[in-house]
Amino acid sequence: MTRDAFENALDAGQLQTLIIYREGEKWYTCRRNGKTKTWKRDGSRWEIPIKFRWRDTLRVESKHFYNGEVDKWFRVVQDEPAMFKITEMLRTDDESAPC
């Protein structure tokens, strides 16, 4: 996965991260937690802040992309974001409700 594809999926609400617990593993939807940080002296270095669940945060750094770790811990879901689904369900329910 490239940095552009990663950021586009993150902004579209289609990125999930894998968290491993004692009981097993679970995928959580991620969202951006600020803008991408870049360095003037080293143009190849950057950092993307991410938020998932209620309070959990992490930072994806350029070294994670170069090591191939991003493909293990993140996946892109090609489905619509959950918020869009809820909005569409509410919209269809309102139309079918008697006036």
Look at residue 20 in the predicted model and tell me its pLDDT.
Answer: 85
Would you put residue 68 in left (φ > 0), alpha (ψ -120 to 50) or beta? left
Instruction: Give the number of domains in the chain.
Output: 1
- For the entire predicted model, the pTM comes to 0.69
Tokens standing for residue 75: 């996946």
The phi, psi pair for 40, rounded to 5°, reads -75, -40
72-82 pLDDT, tens digit each = 888 888 765 55
Domain extent at residue 43: 3-96
43-75 pLDDT, tens digit each = 889 999 999 888 889 899 988 888 888 888 888
